[in-house]
């Protein structure tokens, strides 16, 4: 008899719910080749919330005939009452704008829309980085700084959820 080999590389996975991977009784899947599907609309938890120096990376591919897509960082997932939105980024293709805003205690602030150029192209990949600094978020697209958005939510650690929706496919989050 040979000793049983350890099953370290095999484990049981179940459908992702609430952004968490859970063990279950299912068919074994190779751990190193399993990637959770990044389905749009997407809602995920930011471990530990935001803080100065923390970066959120969103990589994807714009749909072929896009109208818009959005990326929001919120304080929880609540819909009723709605969670505070620290920053909502919305790419609007018809107007070639990348607008941003926030919603605190149910009140939307002043929308900002000035950008040096519109960085998104239909059917092409993109990389958005949201860097949290002490007074602001710095937004980079494909490695170029596009704009800053000054914090309207004071408790950065309360910003613990990312929501993504619209006309795009997600390829990576980090």
Does residue 37 form part of some domain?
Answer: no
The pLDDT value given to residue 32:
41
Q: Please indicate, yes or no, if residue 106 is contained in any of the structural domains.
A: yes
Q: Is the pLDDT of residue 165 over 90?
A: yes
pLDDT in tens, 52-105: 999 999 999 999 999 999 999 999 999 888 899 999 999 999 999 999 999 999
Alpha carbon distance 149, 90 (integer Å)? 13
Per the structure, the count of domains in the chain is: 1
User: Is residue 23, in this structure, part of any structural domain at all?
Assistant: no
Q: Is the residue at 21 inside a domain?
A: no
More confident residue, 10 or 144: 144
Given this model, what pLDDT does residue 80 score? 84
Query: The whole model's pTM is what?
Result: 0.79
Cβ within 8 Å of residue 33, ≥6 positions away: none
Structural domain for 147, as ranges: 42-173
Residue with tokens 């980090």: 174
The answer to whether residue 163 is domain-embedded is yes
User: What CATH number corresponds to the domain at position 83?
Assistant: 2.60.120.200
Question: Which residues, other chains included, contact 114 with Cβ-Cβ below 8 Å and sequence gap of 6+?
Answer: 147
- Residue 20 domain flag: no
Q: Is 10 among the domain residues? A: no
pLDDT single digits (tens) 131-157: 999 999 999 999 999 999 999 999 999
- The pLDDT of residue 111 is above 80: yes
């Amino acid at each position: 008899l040979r000793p049983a080999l350890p099953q370290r590389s095999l484990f049981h996975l179940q459908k992702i719910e609430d952004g968490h991977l859970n063990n279950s009784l299912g068919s074994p899947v190779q751990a190193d080749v399993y990637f959770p599907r990044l389905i749009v609309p997407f809602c995920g938890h930011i471990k530990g919330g935001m803080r100065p120096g923390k970066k959120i990376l969103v990589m994807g591919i714009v749909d072929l005939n896009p109208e818009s897509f959005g990326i929001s960082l919120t304080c929880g997932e609540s819909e009723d009452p709605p969670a505070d939105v620290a920053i909502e980024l919305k790419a609007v293709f018809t107007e070639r704008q990348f607008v941003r805003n926030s919603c605190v205690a149910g009140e939307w602030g002043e929308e900002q829309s000035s950008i040096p150029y519109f960085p998104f192209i239909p059917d092409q990949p993109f990389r958005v980085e949201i860097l949290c600094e002490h007074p602001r978020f710095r937004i980079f697209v494909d490695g170029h700084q596009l704009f800053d958005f000054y914090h309207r939510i004071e408790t950065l650690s309360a910003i613990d959820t990312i929501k993504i929706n619209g006309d795009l496919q997600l390829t990576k989050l980090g």
